Amino acid sequence: MRALLWFKQDLRLDDHPALQAGLTAECLLPVYVLDPALLQLNEFGMRRMGVHRARFLLETLVALEGELRQRGSHLLVVIGSAEQAIPQLVAQFNLDQVLTLEEIAPDERAQVARVARRLGDIPLQQAPANNLLRTDELPFSVEQLPHVFSRFRSLVEERLQVFQPRHAPDRLPGLPDGALALMQPLPTLSQLGLGEPLSVPASAFPFSGGEPAALGRLRDYLWKTQGVRQYKDTRNGMIGSEYSSKFSPWLANGSLSARRVVAELRRHEAQFKRNDSTQWLWVEMLWRDFFRWTLIRHGSALFKAGGLKATERAPQQLDQRFQDWSRGRTGMPLVDANMRELAATGFMSNRGRQVVASYLINDLQQDWRHGAAWFEEHLIDYDPASNWGNWAYLAGVGNDPRHNRVFNALRQAREYDPDAQYVSLWLPELRDVPQALRHTPFLLAGGHLRSLGYPQLDSIPESWKPYLHAVA
Ligand SMILES: Cc1cc2nc3c(=O)[nH]c(=O)nc-3n(C[C@H](O)[C@H](O)[C@H](O)COP(=O)(O)OP(=O)(O)OC[C@H]3O[C@@H](n4cnc5c(N)ncnc54)[C@H](O)[C@@H]3O)c2cc1C
């Protein structure tokens, strides 16, 4: 076999079924196609990938090249479209097989199908996706996927799930003759037209891209600091790197395998005992899988305004309030602080994501898909299933048995940021406001608020009244 290994969202060597399938090849050409179309504006007027994820991706590709080199191979990065690049390389190097990852999102699936068509007789073999559970491990058929998470979880947990991911191989087959000459340095962010992101010391995600960093974080969180043992108590935090695992950006581009995470979690539990926190992390990993299977089951419906429920219920308007929300200038400090963190760093806590999404949908009554598209551009850990699945869920058009989940933003602020530390971190203009008013600057006299340069709320929602004054 003379094979091309087409890397996509599986930028690792550990637990990599397509790579394992190529180990016996006479020669193997590892390729990544960086498609500039990702940087162009989509139907929502936003990019599919912004500067933070692009930086993380470039770091990941550099790390992958380093790992391949250590094993006698290299990564060929092609700027262009996969439809053109993959068949062209196959022809140029007389290859007879393409190995790749199975896709779960409709656009990516359609692209793989187009590449397969252009390959003609050359087989394109797709290895299992980045899910935790494989199709044959599901206790039901995909068509019978439960609509609600609790049912999914109980069915999955009825069986003992054992994950035995395979480690990265020591050596890889060599490149086809002449391929080395094609290797080129990666483009910089500026060459991609993105500019360089500023490094922000307050970032909750101060890590770099790439498999070594991912495995390092996994070791730290599960074995060294053992932050996982307190996860249940810390997971609603918003400041610093330790309140949650921070696995998501590596999971999203596949530089970390979900099966490796759970295999290590089980090993940790075998040695140190299971507790509520280790159990909670497992449940979160199951949520991730639930959204992935939901996307596989329902496909493009997840991206429509009416979502899986095909309903007219969710608001469909879009006006200045969306712009204010996206810029972190709504006048609601907890929302604004989270949106500014996202813009500055590409990361936002799970608590923050729930609050800002609910605020956009329920308080500002804006079309949830624009919020999801904004997240798609800006999140460093953007993942189609988790992003659109969570947004649809919160908009009441996904797989939530309730119609919608309304988060009272001020109540959330009081509960999860009682000392206003988080809003002070991201909203410098409020640092001189007395602490007791930092979540409610709209109670200040109008002139004072204007002099701070912070926006005034349109009106104070009735449901906030019980939380207007901080408890001493
Ligand atoms: C509106 C909204 C949009 C979101 N968009 C994304 C996204 O694009 N990509 C993404 O990976 N996650 C997304 N999430 C889920 C969740 O917020 C992040 O996975 C989590 O905050 C990442 O931080 P962590 O790795 O430290 O998570 P931890 O709390 O340590 O959890 C461990 C892992 O479990 C998984 N997980 C945890 N919570 C969820 C969840 N609600 N849904 C799915 N998987 C979960 C993730 O893979 C995560 O890395 C979104 C949530 C909301 C409410």
How far, in Å, is the centroid of ligand 1 from the Cα of 343?
17
Q: Is the pLDDT assigned to residue 83 strictly greater than 90?
A: yes
Mean pLDDT in residue range 155-168: 92
Q: What is the pLDDT of residue 310?
A: 74
pLDDT band at 157 (very low <50, low <70, confident <90, very high): very high
Name the residue with the closest Cα to ligand 1, atom 37. 284
Q: What is the homologous superfamily of the domain 320-467 according to CATH?
A: DNA Cyclobutane Dipyrimidine Photolyase, subunit A, domain 3 (1.10.579.10)
Answer yes or no: is pLDDT of 472 > 60. no
List, chain by chain if needed, residues with CB within 6 Å of any ligand 1 atom: 235, 244-248, 251-252, 281, 284-285, 287-288, 291, 349-350, 353-354, 357, 375, 379, 381-383, 386-387, 390-391, 394
The pLDDT value given to residue 197: 83
The overall average pLDDT reported for the chain is 95
Confidence of residue 174 (pLDDT cuts 50, 70, 90): very high
Residues 344-370, mean pLDDT to the nearest whole number: 97
pLDDT, position 97: 98
User: Which of ligand 1's atoms lies nearest the C-alpha of 382?
Assistant: 8
| Structure-model confidence comparison of residues 446 and 457, the more confident one | 457
Residue 84 alpha carbon to ligand 1 centre in Å: 34
- The CATH number that domain 2-129 falls under is 3.40.50.620
Q: Does the structure show a pLDDT above 60 at 223?
A: yes
User: 386 C-alpha to center of ligand 1: Å?
Assistant: 7
Instruction: Choose which residue among 386, 391, 394, 416 to substitute to test ligand 1 binding: the one with the highest number of ligand atoms within 8 A of its C-beta.
Output: 386
Residues 6 or more apart in contact with residue 69 via CB below 8 angstroms: none
> How far is ligand 1, taken at its centre, from the CA of residue 69, in Å?
32
Q: Tell me what the mean pLDDT of segment 196-220 comes to.
A: 94
- Flag whether pLDDT at 82 surpasses 70: yes
Residues 38/47, Cβ–Cβ less than 8 Å: yes
| Distance, CA of 333 to CA of 433 (rounded, Å) | 12
Per-residue model confidence as pLDDT tens digits over 267-310? 999 999 999 999 999 999 999 999 999 999 999 999 998 888 77
pLDDT over threshold 80, residue 315 = no
For residue 445, the model assigns a pLDDT of 84
Nearest CA to ligand 1 atom 31: 284
State which of 56, 251, 390 you would mutate to test the pocket of ligand 1, scoring each by most atoms of that ligand within 8 A of its C-beta. 390
Domain 132-164+210-297 has CATH 3.20.20.70: no
Whole-number pLDDT of residue 309: 79
Model pLDDT, residue 186: 94
| Cα 350 to middle of ligand 1, angstroms | 6
169 confidence band (pLDDT: 50, 70, 90) = very high
- What are the structural domain ranges in the chain? 2-129, 132-164+210-297, 320-467
pLDDT of 442 reads 95
- 239, 262, 284: which to mutate for ligand 1, most atoms within 8 A of CB? 284
Which amino acid type is present at position 288?
R
Averaged pLDDT, 142-155: 96
**CA 393–ligand 1 middle distance (angstroms):** 13
Which residue, by CA, sits nearest to atom 19 of ligand 1? 248
| pLDDT, average across residues 135-142 | 94
Cα 249 to middle of ligand 1, angstroms? 9
pLDDT of residue 328: 98
Task: Please tell me the distance from the alpha carbon of residue 378 to that of residue 372, in angstroms, as a whole number.
Answer: 10
Taking the CA of residue 376 as reference, the ligand 1 atom at the shortest distance is 8
pLDDT of residue 404: 62
Ligand 1 atom 29: the closest Cα is on which residue?
244
pLDDT digits (tens, 9 = 90+) for 324-353: 999 999 999 999 999 999 999 999 999 999
What distance in Å separates the CA atoms of residue 472 and residue 466, rounded to the nearest whole number? Answer: 14
Taking the CA of residue 258 as reference, the ligand 1 atom at the shortest distance is: 47
Tell me: pLDDT of 458 over 70. Answer: yes
Q: Do domains 2-129 and 320-467 have the same CATH topology?
A: no
Question: HSE of 67 in the Cβ direction (CA atoms, 13 Å)?
Answer: 21
Ligand 1 center–CA 82 separation, angstroms: 29
pLDDT over 90 percentage in the chain: 90
